[in-house]
A and B are shown apart, each in its own frame.
Chain A
Amino acid sequence: MEKRTDKNTYTVIFAIGMVLVVGALLAFLASTLNPMITENERLEKQKNILYALGVNENEENKAIFVSNEETPKLFKDNIFNQVVIEAKDGKIIRVLSEDEYKEENNNEEPYLIDIKKEQNNAKDGEIRKLPLFLGKNEEGQTCYVVPIRGKGLWDAIWGYISLDKNMIIHGVYFDHKGETPGLGANIKQRFFMDDFIGEHLMKDGVFKGVTIRKGNADPKNNDKTDNEVDAIAGATITGDGVTAMIKTDLKLYLSYFKNLKN
């Protein structure tokens, strides 16, 4: 005799039941946990910006953020303005201060601007919002933290770069969604990120960015004006992604920085 579980009707009913149970369970969990997850993501953005600015608790070779509890206060104390630049076709239309932006956008914090969405807007020929976070670093110098986003080998990579008004890098933070552990994932390690500190983005008055170079003749990275840092072995494509996102995204801020100097 045919087993009960072999019948087509049973199979269909089981499949429907399973989908309902599993779907309901996942939907319930996702909606209950969502507020906590959003809050964690919000804090993470603040921590990343603070890290690039140099507000962190780094130990020896490890990159360590400030604690969750301290983050909101430190962010408020250290970031004194969040400027939003509106650009179209690579040209700056207008520059909004934090207060002006909030007034126009229901009090939305500029650091929560979704860079991916803005990049898509720019692709569609619409206005792209370019956030810029102004803070003081440890030496009391004003630094400009720029968010950037690009593609690695497997998925998105992004980061924050802290610059002074001469477009010299004072700190960076990189992160990724799914680069290979041990290879591309190492872009968020100190040995890689610290190499960027002091690097110049300009060369002889022209914007060059920073290139992640394989077989760099300067692995100790003593030469800060060569617009190059040493690549990670086995992570060529992730490295190229970092080079590309620095070049394309920072370039958009170029005329803002030129105005600053004048």
Chain B
Amino acid sequence: MGLLSKKDSKLILDPLADNNPITIQVLGICSALAITAELEASIVMSISVLFVLGVGNVIISLIRNIIPSKIRIIVQLIVVAALVIIVDLVLKAFAYELSKTLSVFVGLIITNCIIMGRFEAFALGNGPWRSFLDGIGNAFGYGVILIIVGFFRELLGSGTLLGFPILGDPIEKTGLYAFGYENNGFMLLSPMALIVVGLIIWVQRSKNKALIED
């Protein structure tokens, strides 16, 4: 990455693996459980968080020196809520169909602990550019896990990906279903998201022993 200094590129790359917000910091689990039954929803959610976290981090960083420390959490909350509402209103006026797809996610974005976590831990102490990179990096780290979980849950739970049947038709018994394969309905329920995230954590830590805590 010639565009970014080594320190800056670390801001983007670290959250993707060794400091992943979901698998290492165990933040944002609630939304990871709620919406990963389908790959499409995972992708939409990832993009929304990417936007809110990127812009929110910059705003918080710009006003970091004037925020009263006693009410900083409330200020952060208002920034996220206002951002999300503005986006929602603009979409409703200019891209109504898209806004309907996204409206489900609005509440989940505001309560996403990764966003508040990054505001508190990073944007309050760093400049806007670095905060922007940190926001993007963490949103990508979050999105990667969401998409992996969504991929497996939709494939094994419904036999489809992005709504397209991949494994054949379970009712007509074509494709894989002709050999007696059955969709695992349990994959569609929230506990399986937790188990899939658990498996990802297991794989990640067995590859990088440094991540294992004593």
Distance (Å) between the CB of A211 and the closest chain B CB? Answer: 19
Q: Please tell me the number of chain B residues within 8 Å of chain A, measured between CB atoms.
A: 41
Secondary structure of the A contact surface, majority rule: helix
Q: Is the CB of A36 within 8 A of B93?
A: yes
| Complex interface: chain B residues within 8 A of A182 (CB) | 35-38, 41, 153-154, 188
Cross-interface CB contact of A33 among B37, B92, B157, B171, cutoff 8 Å: B92
Which chain A residues lie closer than 8 Å to B34 at the CB level? Answer: 180
Contact A5 B67 (CB under 8 A): yes
CA distance A22 to B86 in the complex (A): 10
A6 at the interface (CB under 8 A from B): yes
Is A237 part of the binding interface, using a Cβ–Cβ cutoff of 8 Å? no
Q: Does B195 contact A (CB under 8 A)?
A: no
CB <8 Å contact, A5 and B68: yes
Contact of B69 among A5, A36, A185 (CB under 8 A): A5
CA distance A181 to B153 in the complex (A): 13
Q: Within 8 Å of chain A (Cβ to Cβ): is B85?
A: yes
Q: How far is the CA of A30 from the CA of B40 in the complex (A)?
A: 29
**B212 contacts partner chain A, Cβ-Cβ < 8 Å:** no
Q: How far is the CB of A56 from chain B (nearest CB, A)?
A: 14
The verdict on A98 contacting chain B, using a C-beta distance below 8 Å, is no
**Which among B66, B154, B163, B183 is the interface contact of A14 at CB below 8 angstroms?**
B66
Q: What are 11 A-B contacts with C-beta separation under 8 Å?
A: A11-B70, A14-B71, A15-B68, A25-B82, A29-B90, A37-B92, A180-B104, A182-B41, A185-B104, A233-B157, A234-B185
Given contacts A5-B68, A40-B93, 15 further A-B contacts (CB under 8 A): A5-B67, A5-B69, A10-B68, A15-B68, A18-B78, A26-B89, A33-B90, A36-B93, A36-B94, A40-B96, A181-B35, A181-B40, A182-B41, A182-B153, A233-B185
